[in-house]
Amino acid sequence: MKLFQKLYFSFLLIVSACYNSPNVEIFNVQRNFDNPLIYSLNQNINFAKINEKNIEQALDFVLREADIIISEILAISNNNYTFNNTLLRLDDLYNTVSKVWNPLELLASVHPNVKIREKANKSILIFQNYFVELSANEALFEIVLQFSTTNEAKNLPINRKRFLESELRDFRNSGLGLSMKDREKLKLYQNIISELSLNYENNLASHLDTIFITFNMTEGLPADYLQNHLQKDGSYGIDLSYPSFYPFMEYAESDSLRKVLRYKFLNRGMPYNLNILDEILLNRKSLSELLKYPSYAALNIEDAMAKTPEAVWRFEKDLIKKINQIADVDTEELLQLKRDLKGDDGEIIFDWEKYYYENKLLQKKYNVDSEEVKQYFQVDNVINGLFIISSQLFNLKFLEIDNPSVWHSDVRMFEVRENADNRLIGQFYLDLYPRENKYQHAAAFSIVSGKKLNSRYQRPISCLVCNFPPPGKNTPALLLHEDVETFFHEFGHLLHDILTKTELSSQAGSSVAMDFVEAPSQMLENWVWNKTSLSLFATHYKTGEIIPDSLLNRMLMAKNIQSGNNLLQQIFYGLLDLTLHEEFDSSSLKSTTEIMSELQNSITHYTYTVGTHQQASFDHLLGYGASYYGYLWSEVYAADMYSVFEKEGLLNLETGLHFRRTILEKGGSENPMNLVKAFLRRDPNNEAFLKNHGIID
């Protein structure tokens, strides 16, 4: 999971996706205080020094600066409206605020100090409320509307025209055109959604649960896993973090313990988030109906590539038809393995069994042991591999910064430079290991967006937040192959942010359509499945031996293991998100749990486990808001774009630079379909996607 700028409060993304910074860099003004969150153009943030007072002070400062920009725009005399004094200044405003808001989004998700997290969260709510008010500013809307009728507006370049159109749409969807009474209702819905979303996230981040087992219950678990989970009293603590949960589900021989842990995992965020989600969905429905949309899904998808929920339903249903046959084969294969191992006539694979039997199938059919594979993916080698591949494809170089100012000792910082002239392009942080109260998934957080400021360019800063297995007592951090794939995926988001060259920060990097944002990152995943690229960094952490062809060939043969079932699972997530945002309402006789269980049972081959409530921890429902389908939608384009590299060379600099220029640098400044066509030099199709998953030959 970036996802792009990590702002989960998706309705407000309508406004915040417009972020840009000032043509006159506001943060360069004279100040009488020293605050790490108020920093000059291309200055590093002193994260280690941030305190609660800084957060409050920075919030007040940037909102005052935002008010000044609004006053300047409103003071323009009639008929003197230009792009520079209206739309560009709005972009300046968004950027100014984002330079504090974005770091606070990060700190709220990763900072070890609870007081910092709480103060950051409170400030985020204030920012959100501010933009709710701003988006309903009728005088501001009238100025943008009047500018849109000018000759300049009618002849804007593509990127500026897209920005104008998006601003007009966003103002209208913020209630302008409604009665004053309805506008107040809309503001109320927006503010309620923001606060509820924050509560949902906080409940999820703070949900801690652990099962403790004795040595005689550890059969099947790897030695290094046991070593990392050993408690002082000799028991083993298995928590719900990814590095703890997934290996247990794959290796533990105890079916009953896997069932217990899976049950706990699927009830994260309970009981509070169940009611919170209901309230979010109901308020989103009320909000969309007030804006004359049939559903929140219709509102949120309108600006995506798909345009309508109906297009998404057609896409997902067509995939189901293509996938069902291979998924049937996948399920029968697991069932037969279960029968062989248990010696019974089992007719069902339970939800808590799927990881275990898939891992057994991997070992038995393909002789691939995840524990053996991870010996070749020491985390520093994977980082170096990412750098080598990115350098060769995009003509870059990466340098680690010594002793950076960071929020936790685990965090590392790097520079990205042009290889040709050593010019600094951007910077990023890596926060790779789990800890209490930290964001629980993997995501790219945008800290500072790219933006043109007169003759200078605001350098992007980003952060990858992951939850990979940490170093053991006697071993370095070793990644499962799926962790390596996740790392490459999130690094794709980071490159999208760092390599941007857009004029406006609103369109910088991964600020693109929700159903295209995953495409560049999904494309980069393919390099972890190729001999040429893996030979550059997949070396045994003890011997330095390059991953042998014998093992790699078996891994490649197993690439599409259970691909049918895995795709159905993704379709289930997408349709759950879509259904909840189309059909759930206060008069519904079905709860979110009933909707979820019916969809899971009708789409996937793994039956719903009674008593579980996965929607209480499915936080993509907040940020995507009916757009989770975008993972598969964008993967169609990702696979098609990767096919060009397959044809022209996985490390072909010319192809890589073409991708950098046509996709990564453009951000959201042009229609994504046009960008894809420009890279492919033809119309896209789904052939590569279907081949990649073994659906067609």
Name beta bridge partners: 444: 464
- Confidence at 6, pLDDT banded by 50, 70, 90: very low
- Identify the pLDDT of residue 7: 38
Shared-domain flag, residues 359 and 471: no
Tell me if 101 is assigned to some domain: yes
Shared-domain flag, residues 391 and 509: yes
- Identify the pLDDT of residue 564: 96
Distances (CA, A) of 502 to 7, 132, 168, 430, 684: 20, 26, 20, 24, 24
Looking at the 3D structure of the chain, how many domains does it have?
4
For 418-432, how does the pLDDT look when each residue is reduced to its tens digit (9 = 90+)?
999 999 999 999 999
Tell me if 449 is assigned to some domain: yes
- Confidence at 205, pLDDT banded by 50, 70, 90: confident
For 661-691, how does the pLDDT look when each residue is reduced to its tens digit (9 = 90+)?
999 999 999 999 999 999 999 999 999 999 9
Cis peptide before 470 (omega within 30 of 0): no
Residue type, position 6, single letter: K
Query: Which is catalytic among the residues 25, 333, 485, 490?
Result: 490
For 109-120, how does the pLDDT look when each residue is reduced to its tens digit (9 = 90+)?
999 999 999 999
Shared-domain flag, residues 394 and 479: yes
For 229-246, how does the pLDDT look when each residue is reduced to its tens digit (9 = 90+)?
999 999 999 999 988 999
Shared-domain flag, residues 195 and 222: no
The answer to whether 198 and 124 are in contact (CB under 8 A) is yes
Instruction: Mark which of 235, 265, 295 sits at the end of a domain.
Output: 265
Tell me if 649 is assigned to some domain: no
Tell me if 393 is assigned to some domain: yes
The answer to whether 331 and 357 are in contact (CB under 8 A) is no
Q: Is 262 left (phi over 0), alpha (psi -120 to 50) or beta?
A: alpha
Range of the domain at 213: 208-265
Tell me if 659 is assigned to some domain: no
Tell me if 663 is assigned to some domain: no
Shared-domain flag, residues 249 and 278: no
Edge-to-edge order in the sheet of strand 424-431: 396-400, 412-418, 424-431, 461-465, 443-448
Looking at residue 548, which CATH number applies to its domain?
3.40.390.10
Instruction: Mark which of 533, 557, 581 sits at the end of a domain.
Output: 557
Distance CA 213, CA 210 (A): 10
- Identify the pLDDT of residue 25: 56
Shared-domain flag, residues 79 and 168: yes
Residue 629: pLDDT over 80: yes
For 273-284, how does the pLDDT look when each residue is reduced to its tens digit (9 = 90+)?
999 999 999 999
Residue 27: pLDDT over 60: no
Shared-domain flag, residues 484 and 599: no
Q: Is 454 left (phi over 0), alpha (psi -120 to 50) or beta?
A: left
Tell me if 679 is assigned to some domain: no
Distance CA 417, CA 259 (A): 48
Looking at residue 287, which CATH number applies to its domain?
1.10.1370.10
Shared-domain flag, residues 59 and 199: yes
Confirm whether 490 is a catalytic residue.
yes
Q: What token pair was written down for 574?
A: 């997408």
Nearest to 645, CA basis, from 680, 599, 597: 680
Quickly list H helices, 239-376.
Answer: 242-251, 255-265, 272-290, 296-301, 309-342, 354-366, 370-373
**Which pTM value belongs to this model?**
0.91
- Identify the pLDDT of residue 589: 79
How many C-beta atoms lie closer than 10 Å to residue 456's C-beta? 11
Shared-domain flag, residues 49 and 109: yes
Q: In the chain, what is the straight-line distance between the N-terminal and C-terminal CA atoms, in Å?
A: 30
Tell me if 261 is assigned to some domain: yes
Shared-domain flag, residues 528 and 404: yes
How many C-beta atoms lie closer than 10 Å to residue 352's C-beta? 22
Given the DSSP bridges, would you call strands 424-431 and 461-465 parallel, antiparallel or unpaired? parallel
Report which secondary-structure segment, H or E, holds 679: helix 672-680
Looking at residue 50, which CATH number applies to its domain?
1.20.1050.40
Shared-domain flag, residues 569 and 545: no
- Identify the pLDDT of residue 12: 32
- Confidence at 346, pLDDT banded by 50, 70, 90: confident
Least confident of 18-32, 167-181, 307-321, 557-571: 18-32
- Identify the pLDDT of residue 14: 29
Report which secondary-structure segment, H or E, holds 135: helix 114-135
Shared-domain flag, residues 19 and 117: yes
For 65-82, how does the pLDDT look when each residue is reduced to its tens digit (9 = 90+)?
999 999 999 999 878 999
85/7: higher pLDDT: 85
The chain-wide mean pLDDT, for the chain, equals 93
